[in-house]
């Protein structure tokens, strides 16, 4: 058996012992009794109490409930009636943070805008119209609302995903700004009337629209207010003789819509048993762990995890190694593992995945969803889940989290016990290795490779006049950094089994600092103390913070004075990227010179 850095028996790969799937299942049954456990409700309080009571009984675990205020929204009613060419009342549910209508409602002509991204509005006059968009993550609901509102649409109607005959009405919110809002954020919440309808009714309207003008009336009422959270947390301290001053964060949202089984009672249940296994092995883990059962998930837009980052900022900045997101576990019928994770973690994840699931997951860049409040501060993000084949997704209107997502249909029959077990093992193994390996197992050469790909894509897409000499400077700096990282990696490999020497500690400090410098600059578009908006589409683009401005430049006339202002912003954002690379190289060089 392999030895860990404490010289004790390491926890076995695949974790053959310890993970109690019967207990996981029991937690799911209990937690899914607390349906629609939305912020500020009795049900979330009951679920929180269940979680904290369970955690408090585990030896070596400190559990508590974080209480803080955040902005959320509650549904009062919605009404949707087709007036022409025929009369029909359509089942609906308000999108939370919708604008309220006058009591008599608003009327207008309907138009269909497909995914509802910026392209969908090209050549269409949406002003004063009721726009119908499909639900998908491209772009997410909040971006559809923002884009509809800047196109002056009167209302946004979101047709659920799922099969064409599905009458399930989804639920969601359009707040967009991430976390508890600042006064500036309050101004950026999309102002538009919005509701949800089923895919069945959406397809019916599309059929009507194919040959007639369709007129409808909409009424929506929601109530927005600041509520106090109920956010269970726990901490497991290493009981190893020489613990490291570092921290791994594991989180999953507790606030949940509808039946809650797969989203996210299953994830919460997996986390509870992970805590148990980790606490039982406190003498073998080298780093502390914090588990967060986030409140304010989809309505407050990751209010719980954002509050956690804002309020534990200094400690996270100093010692945060990684954030592992536990969500969408055990979806029945799922077969494809997809991972939205920071590139520097990919090689590490693949090693674990090959052992647990037999092959690597499909890797994607981390985006602004799934409680990823960690991009600004610069802590690597890990979120792997199993979804459906491309063919199945096409049939279900891209229902990546299942057609039952955010509805009362999210019941126990949607949970596959075997898949849940595999995902639970995968999360546990990720976290065990992160907690037990002496050297933080991240490789920044994957990061630099992606920056080089980004440079090539920007060159392809935009005029040299706007991108040079900056891109060449970034390229030179990234090549320089890559060489230094190769040298750092050699030393990291040598330190793999030697926790006791100060060199290992220096390697880890260096890797954590690289995360803090590179992630906010290259994978976020805001400063390191702030949060990008939910689903920010630019995070999927090359060099997001400059792409965002380049995209605006292409749409702005040179005669327009904002064209020059955009050029000023562009220069500053390029400077930020170059500066980040210079700083990263500087700390690598200093480290290499010292040893
Ligand atoms: Zn979820």
| Distance (Å) from CA 265 to ligand 1 centroid | 9
Q: CA nearest 586: which of 490, 517, 486, 502?
A: 517
| Distance (Å) from CA 264 to ligand 1 centroid | 5
Do residues 311 and 370 make contact, with C-beta atoms less than 8 angstroms apart?
no
Q: What is the pLDDT of residue 350?
A: 98
User: How large is the average pLDDT for residues 191-217?
Assistant: 95
Do residues 298 and 447 make contact, with C-beta atoms less than 8 angstroms apart?
no
Q: CA nearest 356: which of 62, 15, 70, 68?
A: 15
Q: How far apart are CA 468 and CA 576, in angstroms?
A: 15
| Distance (Å) from CA 298 to ligand 1 centroid | 8
| Distance (Å) from CA 288 to ligand 1 centroid | 25
- Going by DSSP bridges, is the β-strand pair 231-236/61-66 parallel, antiparallel, or unpaired? antiparallel
CA 538 to chain centre: 14
| Distance (Å) from CA 464 to ligand 1 centroid | 42
| Distance (Å) from CA 263 to ligand 1 centroid | 5
Q: What is the pLDDT of residue 537?
A: 86
Percent of the chain at pLDDT above 90? 88
- Going by DSSP bridges, is the β-strand pair 336-340/362-364 parallel, antiparallel, or unpaired? parallel
> Is pLDDT above 60 for 2?
no
pLDDT in tens, 294-334: 999 989 999 999 999 999 999 999 999 999 999 999 999 99
| Distance (Å) from CA 398 to ligand 1 centroid | 16
Q: What is the pLDDT of residue 407?
A: 86
**Is omega for the bond preceding 510 within 30 degrees of 0, making it cis?**
no
**What is each CA distance from 562 to 323, 549, 552, in whole angstroms?**
39, 11, 10
- Say if residue 326 is exposed, middle or buried (CB neighbours under 10 Å; 0-12, 13-18, 19+): buried
| Distance (Å) from CA 252 to ligand 1 centroid | 8
CA 42 to chain centre: 26
Is the domain defined by 13-68+229-436 classed in CATH 3.40.630.10? yes
Do residues 416 and 334 make contact, with C-beta atoms less than 8 angstroms apart?
yes
- Going by DSSP bridges, is the β-strand pair 215-228/69-84 parallel, antiparallel, or unpaired? antiparallel
| Distance (Å) from CA 165 to ligand 1 centroid | 24
| Distance (Å) from CA 415 to ligand 1 centroid | 14
**What is each CA distance from 364 to 338, 346, 361, 387, 579, in whole angstroms?**
7, 9, 9, 14, 26
| Distance (Å) from CA 245 to ligand 1 centroid | 31
Strand, helix or coil at 463? Answer: coil
> 9 falls in which pLDDT band (50, 70, 90)?
very low
Do residues 95 and 165 make contact, with C-beta atoms less than 8 angstroms apart?
no
| Distance (Å) from CA 535 to ligand 1 centroid | 14
Which CATH number does 72-223 carry?
Answer: 3.50.30.30
| Distance (Å) from CA 403 to ligand 1 centroid | 13
| Distance (Å) from CA 328 to ligand 1 centroid | 6
> Is pLDDT above 70 for 4?
no
Q: Three-state SS string across 114-126, please?
A: CCCCHHHHCCCCC
| Distance (Å) from CA 267 to ligand 1 centroid | 8
pLDDT in tens, 422-477: 999 999 999 999 999 999 999 999 999 999 999 999 999 999 999 999 999 999 99
What are the DSSP calls for 397-452, one per residue?
TS-TT-TTTTSTT--GGGB-HHHHHHHHHHHHHHHHHHHH-SS----THHHHHHHH
| Distance (Å) from CA 253 to ligand 1 centroid | 6
Low-confidence winner among 141-145, 482-486, 571-575, 582-586 (lowest mean pLDDT): 141-145
| Distance (Å) from CA 266 to ligand 1 centroid | 10
Q: What is the pLDDT of residue 15?
A: 44
pLDDT in tens, 219-234: 999 999 999 999 999 9
> Is pLDDT above 90 for 6?
no
| Distance (Å) from CA 262 to ligand 1 centroid | 8
| Distance (Å) from CA 327 to ligand 1 centroid | 5
| Distance (Å) from CA 62 to ligand 1 centroid | 25
CA 105 to chain centre: 35
| Distance (Å) from CA 370 to ligand 1 centroid | 7
Tokens at 291, concatenated: 């588990």
Bridge partners, 233 (sequence order): 64, 292
Q: What is the pLDDT of residue 8?
A: 42
> Which distant-in-sequence residues (6+ apart) come within 8 Å of 473 by Cβ?
574, 578
Tokens 């659920």: give the residue: 160
> Is pLDDT above 50 for 237?
yes
Buried b (16+ CB within 10 A) or exposed e, 388-405: beeeebeebbbbbbbbbb
Q: How far apart are CA 108 and CA 214, in angstroms?
A: 9
Do residues 400 and 393 make contact, with C-beta atoms less than 8 angstroms apart?
yes
| Distance (Å) from CA 106 to ligand 1 centroid | 33
Do residues 400 and 387 make contact, with C-beta atoms less than 8 angstroms apart?
yes
> Which distant-in-sequence residues (6+ apart) come within 8 Å of 57 by Cβ?
none
Structure letter (DSSP) for residue 358:
S
Q: How far apart are CA 373 and CA 378, in angstroms?
A: 9
| Distance (Å) from CA 552 to ligand 1 centroid | 32
pLDDT in tens, 267-285: 999 999 999 999 999 999 9
| Distance (Å) from CA 406 to ligand 1 centroid | 9
> Which distant-in-sequence residues (6+ apart) come within 8 Å of 114 by Cβ?
120, 133, 134
| Distance (Å) from CA 374 to ligand 1 centroid | 17
């Amino acid at each position: 058996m392999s030895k860990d850095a404490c010289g004790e028996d390491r926890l076995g790969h695949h974790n053959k012992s310890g993970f109690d799937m019967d207990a996981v299942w029991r937690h799911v049954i209990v937690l899914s009794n607390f349906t629609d456990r939305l912020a500020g409700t009795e049900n979330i309080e009951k679920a929180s109490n269940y979680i904290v009571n369970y955690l408090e009984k585990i030896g070596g675990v400190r559990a508590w409930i974080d209480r803080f205020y955040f902005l959320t929204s509650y549904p009062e009613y919605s009404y949707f009636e087709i007036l022409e060419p025929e009369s029909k009342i359509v089942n609906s549910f308000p999108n939370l943070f919708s604008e309220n209508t006058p009591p008599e409602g608003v009327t207008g002509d309907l138009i269909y805008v497909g995914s509802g991204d910026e392209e969908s509005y090209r050549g269409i006059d949406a002003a004063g119209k009721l726009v119908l968009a499909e639900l998908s993550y491209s772009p997410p609901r909040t971006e559809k609302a923002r884009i509809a509102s800047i196109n002056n649409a009167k209302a946004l109607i979101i047709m659920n995903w799922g099969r064409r005959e599905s009458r399930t009405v989804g639920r969601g919110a359009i707040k967009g700004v991430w976390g508890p809002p600042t006064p500036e954020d309050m101004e950026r919440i999309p102002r538009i009337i919005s509701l949800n309808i089923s895919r069945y009714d959406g397809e019916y309207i599309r059929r009507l629209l194919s040959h007639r003008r369709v007129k409808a009336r909409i009424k929506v009422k929601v109530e927005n207010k600041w509520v106090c959270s109920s956010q269970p947390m726990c901490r497991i301290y290493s009981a190893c003789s020489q613990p490291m001053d570092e921290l791994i964060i594991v989180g999953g949202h507790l606030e949940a819509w509808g039946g809650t089984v797969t989203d996210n009672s299953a994830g919460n249940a997996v986390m509870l048993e992970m805590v148990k296994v980790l606490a039982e092995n406190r003498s073998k883990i080298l780093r502390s762990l914090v588990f967060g059962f986030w409140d304010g998930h989809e309505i407050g837009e990751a209010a719980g995890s954002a509050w956690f980052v804002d309020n534990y900022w200094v400690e996270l900045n100093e010692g945060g190694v990684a954030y592992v997101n536990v969500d969408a576990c055990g979806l029945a019928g799922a077969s494809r593992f997809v991972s939205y994770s920071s590139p520097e973690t990919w090689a590490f994840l693949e090693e674990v995945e090959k052992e647990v699931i037999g092959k690597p997951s499909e890797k994607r860049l981390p985006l602004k969803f799934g409680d990823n409040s960690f991009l600004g501060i610069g802590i690597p993000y890990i979120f792997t889940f199993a979804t459906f084949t491309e063919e199945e997704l096409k049939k279900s209107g891209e229902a990546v989290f299942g057609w039952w997502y955010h509805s009362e249909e999210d019941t126990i029959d949607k949970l596959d016990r075997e898949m849940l077990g595999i995902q639970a093992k995968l999360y546990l193994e990720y976290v065990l290795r992160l907690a037990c390996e002496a050297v933080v197992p991240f490789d920044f050469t994957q990061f630099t490779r992606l920056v080089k790909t980004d440079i090539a894509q920007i060159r392809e897409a935009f005029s040299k006049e706007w991108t040079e000499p900056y891109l060449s400077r970034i390229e030179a700096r990234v090549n320089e950094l890559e060489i230094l990282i190769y040298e750092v990696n050699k030393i990291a490999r040598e330190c793999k089994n030697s926790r006791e020497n100060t060199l290992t500690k220096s390697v880890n400090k260096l890797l954590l600092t690289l995360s803090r410098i590179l992630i906010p600059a290259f994978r976020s578009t805001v400063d390191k103390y702030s949060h990008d908006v939910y689903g920010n589409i630019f995070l999927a683009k090359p060099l997001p913070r400059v792409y965002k401005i380049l995209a605006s430049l292409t749409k702005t006339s040179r005669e327009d004075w904002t064209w020059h202002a955009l050029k000023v912003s562009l220069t500053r954002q390029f400077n930020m990227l170059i500066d980040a690379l210079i700083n990263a190289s500087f700390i690598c060089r200093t480290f290499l010179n010292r040893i």
